[in-house]
Amino acid sequence: MGDDVITAAVAGRVALARRRRPLTRPGRTGEGALVRAAQQGSEAAVEELFARHWSAAYRAALLVTGDRAAAEDIAQEAFLSALRALPSFDARRPLRPWLHRIVVNRAIDFARARTLRNEVATEAAAESAAPATVEQPAVGDDIAAALLRLGPEQRAVVVLRYLLEFTPGEIGAILGLPRGTVNSRLRRGLDTLGDTIDEDRRDERA
């Protein structure tokens, strides 16, 4: 598939998402069949794959980075990277974990770089964790703000496990971590998240 077809398909879908129009309702075609069609150059298959996976990819990037503009860029670049690599992708494998590996690792890299630059996330970044067209459950302001106070690595595992519902084994594959490390980061992340939310609520009542 040529880069012009890939870029046009992804850019068009991002433009629709930005204008907050409803995304195409996922069809009944199996994902493996869609991947094979996309590998053969079908723009319709690319658009259907985008419709199925854009919302979760964008949301994952937003929850890890806390930055809407960066999340959109990361999700779009991840789709472009994934689609360019489709010719070598095994269509028997699920696409979602593979795509999220690209998205989340890029989002972690962005968050790390921002931390090194000592940038502070704005209140706007702690708003709803997804645009109106995203169908996944919304994240409350208190949770979104508390997530941004976790380190990027802890934030990523919490987002993947509890907001995107990946298993610890899948998270380990996405992040290239042993399962024990994933579970350890989950425990520490949840403890820190709970303490932060409790502290913020006490401050509000004071």
CA distance 12 to 23: 11
Between the alpha carbon of residue 47 and those of residues 37, 86, 186, the distances in Å are: 11, 14, 34
- When divided into structural domains, the chain yields a total of 1
CA distance 159 to 66: 12
Q: Is 117's pLDDT higher than 80?
A: no
Report which of residues 8 and 127 the model is more confident about.
Answer: 8
Q: Is 84's pLDDT higher than 80?
A: yes
109: Cα separation from own chain's centroid: 13
What residues make up the domain containing 154?
Answer: 3-205
Q: What is the mean pLDDT of the chain?
A: 81
Q: What are the counts of helices (DSSP H) followed by strands (DSSP E) for the chain?
A: 9, 0
- Highest-pLDDT range among 64-68, 85-89, 179-183: 179-183
Q: Is 146's pLDDT higher than 70?
A: yes
pLDDT at 165: 92
pTM of the model: 0.74
